[in-house]
Structure 1
Amino acid sequence: MQLGTRWTAGDQPPAAVPAALRPAISEVEDATPGDMPGQPKPRWTLTWLEGRPIAELDTGVIVELNADGEAVVRHDPDDEFG
């Protein structure tokens, strides 16, 4: 069993975040607008589905591994912010 975790965008991802996801997560964070005064930074949530890691930012951006083990960035179409 693998447990998920949460961390704030811009912080060092926890050790539980697989190395294959880290470059894509960093790219997403670089493309995310800076701090908005009075607003909290978005947070990432790492979960596992059928043994595959999925990192989702509060904004609806999802970073996951495809069948070839490559990181893919997509947007949750059901997210209210997307």
Structure 2
Amino acid sequence: MRLGTRWSFGAEPPASVPNDLRPRIAAAEAAHPGDGDGRHWTLTWLEGRPIVELDDGTVVSDTIIDVQDADEDW
């Protein structure tokens, strides 16, 4: 079992955050400059895969899912 963790938007991710997710987290933060005051990231593990979610619903895993993007077609 792996434990998750939380950290502040804009802060260095904890050591438990996989290295391949770090550039994706940085890209998600860069897409929302100034929007992160008081927000936090949460790392959880789903079936052995890391999932990082921002308080606003932005999810970083193999890809970034931005809930602010209104151009998504379903």
User: Which residue number in structure 2 is paired with residue 44 of structure 1?
Assistant: 41
Q: Which runs of 5+ in 1 are unaligned?
A: 65-70, 77-82
Distance 1:59 1:4 in 2: 18
Give the direction of change, closer, same or farther, for the CA distance of 1:51–1:11 in structure 2 (3 Å limit).
Answer: same
Structure 1 residue 41 displacement after superposition: 2.3
CA-based RMSD: 1.6
Gaps of 5+ in 2: 68-74
4+ aligned runs moved over 2 Å, structure 1? none
Matches of 1:54 and 1:9 in 2, distance apart? 15
User: More strand per residue: 1 or 2?
Assistant: 1
How is 1:1-20 mapped onto 2 (pairs within 5 angstroms)?
Answer: 1-20=1-20
Confirm whether residue 60 of structure 1 aligns to residue 60 of structure 2: no
> Which has more helix, going by share of residues?
2
Q: How many residue pairs are counted as aligned between the two chains?
A: 67
TM-score by length of structure 1 reads: 0.75
TM-score (ref. length: structure 2): 0.82
Q: Partner of 2:65 in structure 1?
A: 74
**Alpha-carbon distance in structure 1 between the residues aligned to 2:17 and 2:56:** 19
Task: Report whether the alignment pairs 1:21 with 2:21.
Answer: yes
- What CA deviation, in whole Å up to 9, does each residue of 1:44-70 have, x standing for no partner? 000000000000000110001xxxxxx
